[in-house]
Amino acid sequence: MDTLPITTPVLPDQKSKRLISLDALRGFDMFWIVSGEGIFHGLANGVKEKYVLVQNPKDWTIATNEHLSMLERILINISNQLHHSPWNGFTFYDLIFPLFIFISGVSMPFSYQKYFDQKKAGNHSSKAIYKALIKRTLILILLGIIVNGLFKWNGYENTRLASVLARIGLSTFFAALIYLNFSLPKQIIWFFSILIAYYLIMVYVPVPHFGGGILTSEGNLSAYIDRLLLPGKLHRVVYDPEGLLSTIPAICSAMMGIFVGTFIKSASPLLNTSKKLAGLFIAGTLCLIAGLVWGLFFPVNKTMWTSSFVLFAGGWSILLFTIFYYIIDVKSLKKWSMPFVWIGTNSILIYICAHGLFNFESTSQFLFGGLISDMPMAWQQAGLWTGVLLVQLLLLKFLYDKKWFLKI
Mean pLDDT by 10 residues, the chain (408 residues): 39 53 97 96 88 54 66 91 95 97 95 80 78 95 91 77 96 97 97 98 86 78 93 89 96 98 79 88 98 97 98 98 95 95 96 91 95 92 96 97 89
Distance CA 310, CA 289 (A): 12
pLDDT given at position 157: 73
pLDDT given at position 15: 41
pLDDT given at position 118: 76
Give the distance between the most distant pair of CA atoms in the chain.
72
Distance CA 169, CA 111 (A): 16
pLDDT given at position 268: 61
Alpha-carbon dihedral of residues 43, 47, 49, 53, nearest 10 degrees?
-140
- Provide the residue type at 389 as one letter: L
Q: Are 277 and 334 in contact (CB under 8 A)?
A: no
Distance CA 151, CA 160 (A): 12
pLDDT given at position 242: 95
pLDDT given at position 151: 80
3-state secondary structure of 278: helix
Compute φ and ψ for 78, nearest 5 degrees.
-60, -45
Distance CA 304, CA 300 (A): 9
Which of 166, 168, 171, 169 lies closest to 251 in space, CA to CA? 171
Element (H, E) at 211: strand 211-212
- Provide the residue type at 54 as one letter: V
Element (H, E) at 212: strand 211-212
Quickly count: other Cβ atoms within 10 Å of residue 330's Cβ: 15
Distance CA 345, CA 24 (A): 8
pLDDT given at position 379: 93
Distance CA 160, CA 158 (A): 6
pLDDT given at position 66: 64
Angle at 190 between CA 187 and CA 191, to 5 degrees: 85
3-state secondary structure of 160: strand
Compute φ and ψ for 206, nearest 5 degrees.
-70, 145
pLDDT given at position 154: 73
Q: Long-range contacts for 196-203 (Cβ within 8 Å, ≥24 apart)? A: 196/307, 198/245, 198/248, 198/249, 198/306, 198/307, 199/294, 199/298, 199/306, 199/307, 202/298, 202/304, 202/306, 203/297, 203/298
pLDDT given at position 33: 95
Helix-then-strand count for the chain, H and E? 17, 2
Distance CA 87, CA 303 (A): 7
List Cβ neighbours of 253 (8 Å cut-off, separation of 6 or more). 98, 101, 102, 105, 171, 305, 310, 313, 314, 317
Angle at 32 between CA 289 and CA 111, to 5 degrees: 70
List Cβ neighbours of 293 (8 Å cut-off, separation of 6 or more). none
Distance CA 298, CA 291 (A): 9
Q: Are 154 and 142 in contact (CB under 8 A)?
A: no
